[in-house]
Amino acid sequence: MKVKGLRWWIITLICIATVINYVDRTAFGVMWPEMGKDLGMDEYDYAFMLNIFMITYAAGKFLSGKLYDIIGTRLGFVFSIAVWSGSAILHSFSRGIISLSIVRGFLGIGEAGNWPGAVKSNAEWFPVNERAIAQGIFNAGASLGSVIAPALIAFLYGQFGWRATFIILGIIGFVWIIPWLFINKTTPENHPWLTDSEKALIFSGEPVEQKPVKSKSLPLKTILGYKQSWGVLMARFFIEPIWWLFVGWMPLYLNSKYGFSIQEIGQTIWISYLGGMAGSLLGGWFCSKLMEKHAVDFARKTSILIGVLFIFFGLLGVIFLVDEKNPMTFIYIVGMVLFGFQFSIGNIQTLSSDLFRGPSVGTLAGLAGSIAAVSVIIMNWLIPIITVDSYTPAFVIIAVLAPLAMLSIYLFIQKIEKVIPSTN
């Protein structure tokens, strides 16, 4: 049996996994106003829980990148989603800070694998000129999950309470494994359902001797010896807190500043994430269209720059235009910020596969994810300290970070092209 467009089935499943990933992680923030009361915890405990997640998430990004290089994307995804879905279920049994810390930690380890796995799958299943749009589809899953999550979680919470909600969400993840194993039988080189024309398309532009078949990852020291790698790492470090500020803290911000209930949070913040979803799809599409007439270097950098401009001017709007009496103004402008973030991030994440080949892609992508998580940990630690009177200091800081991410790319990656290691 042959399946036309099999690569799109693969990326669709990864997109769905990403939706599940974001629903599971968003549940904690949306339900925290009531979870915190039940467990006797405050905002500082919440920040601690976020950082427990991010520390293991950072470690998991790097370790899962190496794991995917060893066992491949097929089994790697099974491992990752089984760990995070099991951890989601175990949230329902938490009774205090110790038990909740343990399950948050395992959730971070499991959820981290989704990202390097998606980047590696993208490099395996898509030609260079389609990778941005494929990455955009995958990243749209993050925004779609964030759009779906608030209303879904608010509904489940209203019907069953927060403990049962975590159980239901965990079961959904285990169900995903079934179609993944059925459709993604093996790599593109050997998949029995892949047509000859699609296989030729996937490997177009890749010299035969450099295809990632039976290849080994470059040593980490060698990868870091290229300044281009540092451009990827620094860009992720600077840009990542922008997304996580709103994913992690917007529910609490709306609850504390405007008195929003869980139901009201669920009814409103999806609007902001809808902007992020649009940015995911349009960022990949726009870059792919540019590649039809321009080099990868021009297309990627132009797309990233446009996204950064949306982020920067959107945050200026949050700082100067938001009316404290009208929370919807905040919701709408944040949608613009998240649009810009997702417009950029898919192209930034794809840089690993633009610069390296084979298993080295997963190694760099995993390390970049870990570095990004470190910056989020720093942000989470700072938020309760700098936002005692107002969130404005936090918005000012992340407004500065977006241009720094763009500057890192221009300084360290003068031309986006394959890094060819010495064969001597």
Closest CA to 277 of 376, 331, 346: 346
**Beta carbons within 8 Å of 315's beta carbon, 6+ residues apart:** 337, 395, 398, 399, 402
Calpha distance 93→88 (Å, rounded):
10
Task: Output 68 or 180, whichever has higher pLDDT.
Answer: 180
Query: Please, what's the largest Cα pairwise distance for the chain?
Result: 66
Please, which pLDDT band fits residue 215 given cuts at 50, 70 and 90?
low
Q: Can you name the residues that pair with 194 across neighbouring β-strands?
A: 3
Is the CA virtual torsion 352, 373, 266, 80 positive or negative? positive
Could you tell me the domains of the chain? 6-412 (1.20.1250.20)
CA distances 249 to 28, 262, 299, Å, are 11, 14, 33
Q: Which tokens go with 292?
A: 């039809």
Is the CA virtual torsion 279, 283, 284, 285 positive or negative? positive
128, pLDDT greater than 90: no
Highest-scoring range by mean pLDDT, 7-11, 103-107, 220-224, 290-294: 103-107
pLDDT digits (tens, 9 = 90+) for 226-278: 999 999 999 999 999 999 899 889 988 888 888 888 889 888 988 998 998 89
The pLDDT value given to residue 209: 42
Closest CA to 81 of 132, 35, 13, 135: 13
Report the mean per-residue pLDDT for the chain: 88
- The pLDDT of 10-15, averaged and rounded, is 93
**Beta carbons within 8 Å of 170's beta carbon, 6+ residues apart:** 24, 85, 86, 87, 88, 89, 90
Burial of 262 (0-12, 13-18, 19+ CB in 10 A): buried
Highest-scoring range by mean pLDDT, 56-60, 82-86, 130-134: 82-86
pLDDT digits (tens, 9 = 90+) for 14-63: 999 999 998 998 899 889 988 989 999 988 899 999 999 989 988 887 78
